[in-house]
Amino acid sequence: MRLRHIKGCEDFITDAKECIREDKAIALKGKIQNIFDIRRALQIEIGMGKGQFIRNMAIKHPDINFIGVERYESVLMKAVQRKRNLEADKTIDNLKFLCADARKLAEIFEAGEADKIFLNFSDPWPKDRHADRRLTSPYFLDIYDRILKSDGVIEFKTDNVGLFEYSLKVIKDSKWRLDFCSFDFHSEKESEENIMTEYEEKFAGQGNKICKMIISR
């Protein structure tokens, strides 16, 4: 699906105090938490879209710092605006946004800097020749391996069964361990405190089953 470009989004993201661009983030490697007022445990959502999930996570867990990664400025602009709308009542000071390509994350985050990574409804890249672009491919798992703490975990949700099965095969052939797996996550007791993304609400509302896995080393 083609993204609609919003005029002025580039300047908006550059000027937004909630955001940091890829080049500045790379220059801050090892000090990325300086963008927060307080240093805390760090959790990252890669490909956060308009940010509903990570906003609600930050509100629910004020003792954790969250960074939402989104490469598309038009989408990120909407995420910032929605965060600001919520802040009419209370500042969400433990949430920041990173405008960057996920392939650059190992150049931005120090080894072992992240406690958890969320991958929610990532682009499935269905053609075989694009498999390396999938955020659960061996290429990206190697990046996550470098930036996660030794006991860090990855949580992955999707409604795309093909992508989920591909991801399971990748995990089976890797050093990663499958800690939780469900092809119908919303029917599991583990979903009782689940925070949904915009896509999750849409797809679940259409009757699609949601798949989820949690992996660690």
pTM (predicted TM-score): 0.95
Q: List the catalytic residue out of 11, 15, 115, 123.
A: 123
* Residue 123 falls in the annotated catalytic set: yes
Ordered by where they begin, the domains of the chain are 9-216 (3.40.50.150)
Q: Give the pair of three-digit tokens for residue 98.
A: 């990173």
- Per the annotation, does 127 bind a ligand? yes
The pLDDT score that the predictor gives to residue 1 is: 46
In sequence order, the 6+-apart residues with CB closer than 8 A to the CB of 100 are 21, 22, 25, 69, 71, 108
The pLDDT score that the predictor gives to residue 195 is: 98
Does 113 have pLDDT greater than 50? yes
Tell me how far apart the alpha carbons of residues 217 and 175 are, in angstroms, rounded to a whole number.
6
- Per the annotation, does 45 bind a ligand? yes
Does 62 have pLDDT greater than 90? yes
